[in-house]
């Protein structure tokens, strides 16, 4: 049993990510259900729900908390944030794979760094093109 844990310790990370995503989806479901229950109560009374409740429903359907301004996908700001994220990830994997000390000389970190660098360049191109088109949001 100790060998199994020692060999597959890394499985904890994807399993915890699955658990986190499941928990987040359940919370989103509960939030949407609560808003719909309030709207149903207004509909049963024959009244129009307030604009704030409709805004909360729209925010719940997009996953963004009400009142929080987030970066919209498909905008230049979104792609600039991806440039920063994947640039740092690429740099981290280049550093970790330097000389093969961390990955045992397999070159796996170098391949991951190459992929992260490619995604960084793709995000950079998208950000520049959208910025030139005027989609700044």
Q: Which residues neighbour 49 within 8 Å (Cβ) at sequence distance 6 or greater?
A: 38, 39, 42, 43
Residue 89 has pLDDT above 90, yes or no: yes
The confidence score (pLDDT) of residue 69 equals 52
User: Which residues make Cβ contacts (< 8 Å) with residue 137, sequence separation at least 6?
Assistant: 71, 72, 75, 76, 77
* In 46-107, alpha helices (H): 51-62, 76-97
Interatomic CA distance for residues 89 and 2, integer angstroms: 32
pLDDT tens-digit map of 9-60: 788 888 999 999 999 899 888 988 888 898 899 889 998 888 887 887 777 6
Q: What pLDDT is attached to residue 9?
A: 78
pTM as predicted: 0.50
DSSP 8-state code for residue 104: T
């Amino acid at each position: 049993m100790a060998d199994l844990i020692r060999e597959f310790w890394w499985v904890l990370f994807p399993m915890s990510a699955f658990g986190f995503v499941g928990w987040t989806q359940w919370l989103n479901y509960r939030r949407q259900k609560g808003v719909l229950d309030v709207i149903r109560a207004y509909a049963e009374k024959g009244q129009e729900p307030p604009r704030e409740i409709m805004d909360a429903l729209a925010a719940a359907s997009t996953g963004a908390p009400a009142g929080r301004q987030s970066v919209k996908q498909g905008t230049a700001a979104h792609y600039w944030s991806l440039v920063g994220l994947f640039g740092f990830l690429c740099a981290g994997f280049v550093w970790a794979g330097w000389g093969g000390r961390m990955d045992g000389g397999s070159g796996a970190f170098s391949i991951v760094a190459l992929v992260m660098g490619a995604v960084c360049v793709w995000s950079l191109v998208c950000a520049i093109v959208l910025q030139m088109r005027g989609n700044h949001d």
